[in-house]
């Protein structure tokens, strides 16, 4: 979905993931090969009139974040239909995605899906408050590689995870994937 939007940021994220054996959020275990479309292990969702202060993503290891903004109906999560849902569209305003240092914003049309890539660690950004009609929300999703994910994967790869204070002196220390908890799948 994002590879064609920003090839260089996409490959930068993939390289960071490959070098540190960071699994994609779609992967159920460590040490799996990335698919051609994997570019982040972490996804954040916002909705219901979410807004925030201008900030830089200091907790990210990746230089770039990918975002997707989708107008949806709160009743069932489906996309807003511009022909059927006209009242939802006309009564929803604001909620722009802003880059204040550049005096630039993305003003969302309530019936349009928006994809964006930006240098989230360097560029201040925020979402402004908006008015969402009853029955409407804009779901925002951002994908990035967090420093915490990077640190944990590096420690797992090197074996240093077992020397962390949080793991020392535990009688029963166990690392396991989802198959250990959900049952083994057939191969």
Task: Please indicate, yes or no, if residue 64 is contained in any of the structural domains.
Answer: yes
Alpha carbon 142 to its chain's center:
3
pLDDT confidence of residue 105: 95
User: Domain residues for 122?
Assistant: 7-182
Rounded (5°) CA angle 147-152-156 = 150
What distance in Å separates the CA atoms of residue 178 and residue 121, rounded to the nearest whole number? 32
Task: Please indicate, yes or no, if residue 1 is contained in any of the structural domains.
Answer: no
| Count of structural domains within the chain | 1
Task: Please indicate, yes or no, if residue 120 is contained in any of the structural domains.
Answer: yes
Task: Please indicate, yes or no, if residue 187 is contained in any of the structural domains.
Answer: no
**What DSSP character marks residue 90?**
H
Tell which wins on pLDDT, 87 or 93: 93
pLDDT tens digits, one per residue of 55-83: 999 999 999 999 999 999 999 999 988 88
Task: Please indicate, yes or no, if residue 145 is contained in any of the structural domains.
Answer: yes
8 Å CB contact between 150 and 13: no
Token pair 């994937």 is at which residue? Answer: 177
pLDDT tens digits, one per residue of 27-62: 767 767 777 777 778 888 888 989 999 999 999 999
pLDDT confidence of residue 162: 82
pLDDT confidence of residue 127: 94
Token pair 């202060």 is at which residue? Answer: 53
Task: Please indicate, yes or no, if residue 101 is contained in any of the structural domains.
Answer: yes
Given a cut of 70, is residue 99 above it in pLDDT?
A: yes
Token pair 């396991």 is at which residue? Answer: 176
pLDDT confidence of residue 173: 61
Task: Please indicate, yes or no, if residue 84 is contained in any of the structural domains.
Answer: yes
8 Å CB contact between 126 and 100: yes
Give which of 61, 63, 59, 21 is closest to 38, Cα–Cα. Answer: 21
What distance in Å separates the CA atoms of residue 21 and residue 27, rounded to the nearest whole number? 12
pTM equals: 0.78
pLDDT tens digits, one per residue of 136-187: 899 999 989 999 989 988 998 898 888 888 777 666 666 666 666 676 655 5
Residue 120: pLDDT band with limits 50, 70, 90: very high
Residue 22: pLDDT band with limits 50, 70, 90: confident
8 Å CB contact between 60 and 148: no
């Amino acid at each position: 979905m994002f590879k064609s939007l920003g090839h260089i940021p996409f490959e930068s994220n993939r390289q960071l993931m490959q070098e540190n054996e960071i699994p994609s959020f779609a992967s159920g275990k460590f040490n799996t090969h990335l698919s051609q479309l994997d570019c982040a292990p972490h996804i954040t969702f916002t909705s219901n009139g979410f807004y925030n202060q201008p900030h830089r993503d200091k907790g990210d290891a990746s230089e770039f974040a990918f975002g997707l903004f989708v107008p949806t109906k709160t009743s069932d999560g489906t996309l807003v239909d511009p022909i059927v849902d006209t009242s939802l569209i006309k009564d929803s305003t604001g909620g722009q995605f802003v880059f204040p240092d550049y005096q630039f914003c993305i003003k969302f049309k309530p019936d349009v899906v928006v994809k964006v890539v930006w240098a989230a660690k360097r560029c201040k950004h925020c979402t402004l408050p908006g008015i969402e009609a009853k029955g409407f929300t804009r779901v925002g999703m951002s994908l990035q590689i967090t420093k915490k994910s990077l640190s944990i994967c590096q420690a797992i790869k090197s074996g240093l995870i077992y020397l962390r204070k949080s793991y020392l002196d535990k009688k029963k220390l166990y690392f396991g994937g989802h198959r250990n908890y959900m049952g083994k799948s057939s191969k």
